[in-house]
Structure 1
Amino acid sequence: MSVIKNPGTTAVGGLALGIAATVVLASPAVAQTAPAALATGTTVGPAGHTFSAAAQGDVVLNAGPVTVTCARSSTVPTNGKPNKVPAQPGNSSSVGPIVLDINPPSFESCTTNAPGLKAAITTNADHGTWQLALRDGAPARLIIPAQGFTLKTSGLLSCNVTAAPGGAANAEAAWSNGTPSSLGFTGANIPVEIEGGFFCPTSVNTATITAQYKVTDTTDPAGAITVSGTPKR
């Protein structure tokens, strides 16, 4: 009886699988089924490193008819509360995002789209912690604690804009690995409550943020904070 062997190679889920198909004369061929691709978790690294995030260009906040543009914004590690990647094994998860505590970001040199209308933004963590949730293959999320920041206008209008008025809220962003890595917000929604006089847009309950942040590894400035997949075993 003659036997013909026909080795071949196929790629499934990025893994090269060698498949040897054996055909026996006078017998039907038997196909082998390749295993399903392995699911992935998330690892943020390097473990234990601190980081800063600084806006590259303007940060633009829109709340109804009012547009506020801030020339500078950043969050940096401090001795009391560093922006820090968790130590191993807390920097890896097989099922969910890695959540990093961060210091409340600053927003400085803010102007508005209306002549004579001034704006200032104050951030705080009185009702919770600012956090960054990172997950491989999914949008990043900036977690803003309840009443995490207040935008006040003065001059032509005196209005107060409170972010996340009813509880912690998320603003979605795109994470890109690099040296340094980046975090980009493009019209990300933030729930708000606006209070003030007759001309304040009190019916508006959503603001948006557009900004691009550079994320720098402050433990090793030549390195980078990265988000990667972790194969399940």
Structure 2
Amino acid sequence: MSRNRVLRAAPLGAAAALVAGVGLVALTAGPALAATGTTVTPAGDSYSASLVPGTTAGFVVGSTTVTCNQSANTGTIPAAPDNSSAAGPVISPVTPPTFANNGGACPTNVLFTTATTATNSTNGSWTIGLQYDAAGSTGTMTIPQAGVVTTISGLATCTITVAPDGPAAITGPWVAGTATAAPQLDFSAGVSLPIKVTGGFGCPTGATAATFTARYQITDTTDGTQQVTVAETASAPTTDPTDTPSA
């Protein structure tokens, strides 16, 4: 998500002279600390997120595992200046992701069953928030209430609703792109999602959480020569005095 625009505000020194009685007192400001923020570039460009080739998206509920080899969605980086945030992530709306396996239903580890996943934005928007951090930038996907509904069909018929009671968010590392690889949003370590399961015999109706795994590569679809980047930006420093006056 390479134009890498990094904005840094240098610490500023300020001096003021105060006349106190017959003496001259110098008041000097120490270096100000700039708050770290996030800048995402290229501003205004559209992007797509799709599974890294050769990987799958997994959804584990109890002892049931659903595996899909296709998952994707799209979004747009905010135009300047909204592509920068002095404190907090840069958030962009995205389309609800698709999930499929070779264009059809996804297999499960339960004999003679398959899973079909439908996503929606009925109760709110899907978003991705990108946050710069020197220790490792992150991406957070927010799922609106009931934004994912998976139906398992076959020997058992079950319905799994993600985020049944309100929006849910999942966070994973942002992996910067290289000369030979696109940047990635990595949920491969597994993230937990609140769920509600309904159905009859064989359905894990007691499960209240599912584990989601996936690794998405991010491609600039406005300009294929560019890569989406997450970099540091800094807010304007304060010039308030920080040192004790001295005569």
Q: Same fold (TM over 0.5)?
A: yes
Which residue does the alignment assign to 1:159?
158
Q: Does 1:96 align with 2:88?
A: yes
Kindly state the Cα deviation for residue 232 of structure 1 after the two structures are TM-superposed. 2.5
- In 2, Cα distance between the equivalents of 1:139 and 1:203? 32
Which residue does the alignment assign to 1:212?
215
8 Å CA contact 2:35, 2:87 repeated in 1: no
Q: Determine which of 190, 194, 197 is the counterpart of 1:191.
A: 194
Which residue does the alignment assign to 2:76?
84
Which residue does the alignment assign to 2:59?
61
Q: Determine which of 44, 50, 53 is the counterpart of 1:48.
A: 44
8 Å CA contact 2:156, 2:201 repeated in 1: no
Q: Aligned residue pairs: how many?
A: 197
Contiguous gaps of at least 5 residues in structure 1 = 1-14, 16-33, 77-82
SS across alignment from 2:214? strand
After TM superposition, the structure 1 = structure 2 runs for residues 2-17 of structure 1, keeping only pairs within 5 Å, are none
Q: What CA RMSD, in Å, does the superposition of the two structures yield over aligned residues?
A: 1.8
- In 2, Cα distance between the equivalents of 1:35 and 1:116? 67
Which residue does the alignment assign to 2:204?
201
Q: Which has the higher contact order (CA 8 A, sep 6+)?
A: 2
**TM-score (norm. length: structure 1):** 0.80
Amino acid paired to 2:65: T
**Counting strand residues as a fraction of each chain, which structure ranks higher?**
1
Contiguous gaps of at least 5 residues in structure 2 = 1-9, 11-29, 237-247
Amino acid paired to 1:114: V
Amino acid paired to 2:132: D
% identical aligned pairs: 39
Q: Does 1:126 align with 2:132?
A: no
8 Å CA contact 2:51, 2:216 repeated in 1: yes
Summarize deviations over 1:168-217 as a string: whole Å, max 9, x none: 10011111121521001021111110001132111111111111101000
Higher mean Cα deviation, 117-126 or 175-184? 175-184
Amino acid paired to 2:225: A
Kindly state the Cα deviation for residue 35 of structure 1 after the two structures are TM-superposed. 4.1
- In 2, Cα distance between the equivalents of 1:144 and 1:93? 22
**TM-score (norm. length: structure 2):** 0.76
Higher mean Cα deviation, 205-214 or 35-44? 35-44
